[in-house]
Chains A and B, each alone.
Chain A
């Protein structure tokens, strides 16, 4: 056996914003074997869930992931509503789908930016994240929060989208669509991106079936699975849209699928907004009496693929067992197929192409004084403060 060099990626590494250790066993520059250690983020949420009431579990599962924070409550709501046989109102269905699709748009924009960053294409990173901001502002307008929207409950949603807000949402979506055109051009027409990502980290159809991979990872390899179409929930059967697939299975195909999916998402949201106008305002919940004994399987299509929740109820007010399967759980396992035989530089790109979950909730706050109505801190003051602090540090180290 020849000697191999071990190159660790993680547990804390700039490539991954979440802790996970990948060990690449390399011969020269070629990755020969890959092993990983997980569990740095294990918080025992499945066990915790058993000690919470059904209403509280929504807030718990929302915090599994900072980016796709609506997909877990979505799947959990589907599971409990299937278990208790609850049919929600059309208005609630539309609102749920709007939130789900807005999340897909912002998550895919985030990924496109990060992918550009990994390639050294920082302009793309800046653009994509800049155009993601208005989408987060929309969330703030609808739910009051930019992340962790707390919109879901058993039997409906917590907040309504009033008719007066619809024009503002449509305007932002129009802008995002234009910017998506630009991003699609920036990725699809760039010869450097083609050269860098085509033929890298290929997953074949058989690999996808073998590992049970889901979401854009599967769709980029020509496996057209999408829970929204296959097992329709919320308002997805009420609107027209299509599943985007690609055949190549490489990093480029994954980028292509995600970019083109954004158009579909924007189209779904626009149709849902039209649908909202036809429904009576305020009818967003149905009354739920009790959760009977039994089991429920719920799933939802997160930006990264199928989220699956299994709930077993013993008739009490909290789940007796709650099993959660996030899409990255099956997608990360495909690294064994996509990375071995690649160079180290390509392997890191293949790792990023699956879009392992990230959490980013940092934001700037502008506070107003309640009595005087004056701004306590604005952007330029913050910049001044930051510059002042930098100067202090400079003085300290005599730079």
Chain B
């Protein structure tokens, strides 16, 4: 390493003061007591919190701006309960993955977009709109991401009722 050693900066993790400052999950539970429907603590580094779908915007704002969480990705699911989305947030200083879980309407799934707050969710919301038909309100650009120009409108391949041509035969 030698002369390039000084480029190697010290990790943020070592800086204890900053870690204390970063708010913990307990504060989250206190702040959003009325929005939380269910909490599952799988292990110290994984937590699943089900919230009301209309409170996603304040929750995400608090996580991103106040507590320093990073948005990893969101996973949509089509289940018996309707459409579900797991928003995966990571708090890198603690190695924590927080799954914010919402359940949407069976017939008309829609939820507020997070893309006006951070760009990280822009593509995945477009993708979920395209594959599951979930509508993201106030999304800057809900154009198709993957199948532009070669896929029928209103046909959503990741819904459970979707059958491919091969399966239909």
Which A residues contact B (CB, under 8 angstroms)?
37-39, 42, 44, 46-47, 82, 184, 188, 209-212, 222, 224-225, 229-232, 242-247, 256, 260, 263, 294-295, 297, 299, 306, 308, 310, 312, 320-321, 323, 325, 329-330, 333, 336
Contact = CB atoms under 8 A, between A and B. Distances in A.
B8 A260 contact: yes
A323 B90 CA distance: 16
Contact of A229 (B13, B124, B157): B13
B146 interface: yes
Given A310-B88, A321-B75, A243 B4 contact: no
Contacts of B147: 39, 42
B99 A297 contact: yes
A329 B1 CA distance: 32
A242 B8 contact: yes
Contacts of A37: 148
A229 B13 CA distance: 9
A329 B71 CA distance: 13
B12 A209 contact: no
B95 A231 contact: yes
B73 A308 contact: yes
B97 interface: yes
B11 A224 contact: yes
B55 interface: no
A39 B147 CA distance: 6
Interface residues of B, number: 40
Given A297-B46, A297-B97, A47 B158 contact: yes
A224 B18 CA distance: 14
A325 B72 contact: yes
Contacts, number: 109
Contacts of A231: 45, 90, 92, 95-97
14 contacts: A47-B157, A211-B120, A225-B92, A229-B11, A231-B45, A231-B96, A232-B95, A244-B8, A246-B9, A247-B7, A247-B9, A263-B1, A308-B73, A333-B123
Interface of B: 1, 4, 7-9, 11-13, 42-43, 45-46, 48, 70-73, 75, 77, 86, 88, 90, 92-93, 95-97, 99, 118-120, 122-124, 145-148, 157-158
Contact of B73 (A184, A230, A323): A323
Contacts of A232: 95
Contacts of A263: 1
Contacts of A209: 70, 118
Contact of B92 (A230, A323, A333): A230
Nearest to B151: A39
Nearest to A246: B7
A325 B1 CA distance: 33
B9 A245 contact: yes
B4 A212 contact: no
Nearest to A298: B97
A361 B96 CA distance: 36
Contacts of A39: 145-148
Contacts of B158: 46-47
A263 B5 CA distance: 12
Contacts of A222: 9
Contact of A224 (B12, B46, B72, B123): B12
A45 B48 CA distance: 25
The 3 closest A-B pairs by CB, nearest first: A212-B120, A323-B75, A39-B146
Given A82-B46, A295-B99, A243 B120 contact: no
A308 B88 contact: yes
The listed residue with most A CB atoms (<10 A of its CB), out of B43, B45, B93, B119, is: B119
